[in-house]
Structure 1
Amino acid sequence: MDSLRLRLWSENDLELLHAANTPAMTAHLNGPETEEQVVERQARYLRLVASGEARMFVIEDPEGASLGSIGYWRMDWRDEPALETGWFVRPEAQGRGVASKALALLIDDARAHRGDRRFLTAFPGVDNPASNSVCRRNGFALVGTFTEAFRGAELTVNEWVLDLTG
């Protein structure tokens, strides 16, 4: 797993969104999206990457096989311009450090492309120990917990932040 790479999202990556849209893969996100929502997510990723408002990536192994996705996008956090990150790893690649290594690569990319945005944030569900551990291992600080509406239900998340200037 030392040779992971991040490849910018392309029009050929819809299959990866379908692979991640299962009850098991979305258990910490209040369940799967509809087909229409998945297709819209693909279009949104392409739009945001093209405009520079987000950087969405496919996580690839040395042979170019897709192991998951990770990205970041602009948002406001505590009344300050920031970036938010999120990721998923295919079940067959989980438990091998893929998400942690991909996040380390993403942090380097975010530092290079952050503009005036100082903080990178992540909001994994409180019931998602794997993603919370990925944040901790990559130097994020846990600064809070909150509940918000997401996909038609309430979702309680941990609020992690990393200072990209440090």
Structure 2
Amino acid sequence: MADIALRLWGDQDLWMLHRANSAEMTAHLNGPETDAEVVDRHARYLRYVETGEARMFAILQEARAVGSIGYWHLRWNDHDVFETGWFMLPEAQGQGLTRRALALLLDDVRLHRGDRRLLVAFPETDNPASNAVCRGSGFRLRGTTTETFRGADLVMNEWVLDLADSAAS
């Protein structure tokens, strides 16, 4: 099994956001962003890492960047929670790496969670891979929600993980 690790997001990671901005990779996110939006996302990730506002990571397989994962503050259902999201580049998909990266992320979340008890994820309902990652990582399906994302409605599952539950990793 290949070594996998997380590294805080850095200047060298902009290329991954450009690679992940294809029609194929954004099919469950209402399509790609503009180049300017990708550059802005990268700048936000760098700022988040610098300020501690969020924790954004490159996923490394054998020391090579193959995706991204992170978590950030969210107010959800009248609770202060963390939200998580990820992507895996096409050449690294289907190997179980996202679930392994999420397990590493959960260790980090638990170290930095303060009084936040919940981690939530909102994959599109028709995204079997991301929903399987949630299901296989101990999240509980709470329902669905529809939000406007990138200018169109996006129907998402609401997955919730209790961070205090040490068995859910």
Alignment TM class, shorter chain as reference: over 0.9
- 2:76 match: 77
Deviation per residue, 1:139-161 (Å, 9 max, x gap): 00000101110001000000000
User: Is the aligned partner of 1:137 residue 2:167?
Assistant: no
Corresponding position of 1:7: 7
Which TM-score applies when normalising by structure 2? 0.96
SS, match of residue 13 in structure 1: helix
1:103 and 2:102 matched: yes
- For the residues of structure 2 that align with 1:133 and 1:80, how far apart are their CA atoms? 25
Segments of structure 1 that go 5 or more residues without pairing to the other structure are none
Match of 1:33 in 2: 33
Q: How does 1:12-27 map to 2 (within 5 A)?
A: 12-27=12-27
How many residues align? The count is 165
Once the 2 structures are TM-superposed, how far is the Cα of residue 2 of structure 1 from its aligned partner?
A: 4.7
> What is the CA–CA distance in structure 2 between the aligned matches of 1:61 and 1:123, rounded to whole Å?
25
2:48 corresponding residue in structure 1: 48
**How far is the alpha carbon of 1:115 from its aligned partner?**
1.1
- Tell me by how many angstroms 1:124 deviates: 0.1
Which amino acid counterpart does residue 58 of structure 2 have in structure 1?
Answer: V
- RMSD of Structure 2 on Structure 1 (CA): 0.8
Residue identity matched to 1:124: P
* 1:128 paired residue number: 127
- What SS does the aligned partner of 1:116 have? coil
- For normalisation by structure 1, the TM-score amounts to 0.97
Q: Secondary structure at the match of 2:133?
A: helix
Which amino acid is 1:151 matched to? R
Q: Which residue of 1 aligns with 2:61?
A: 61
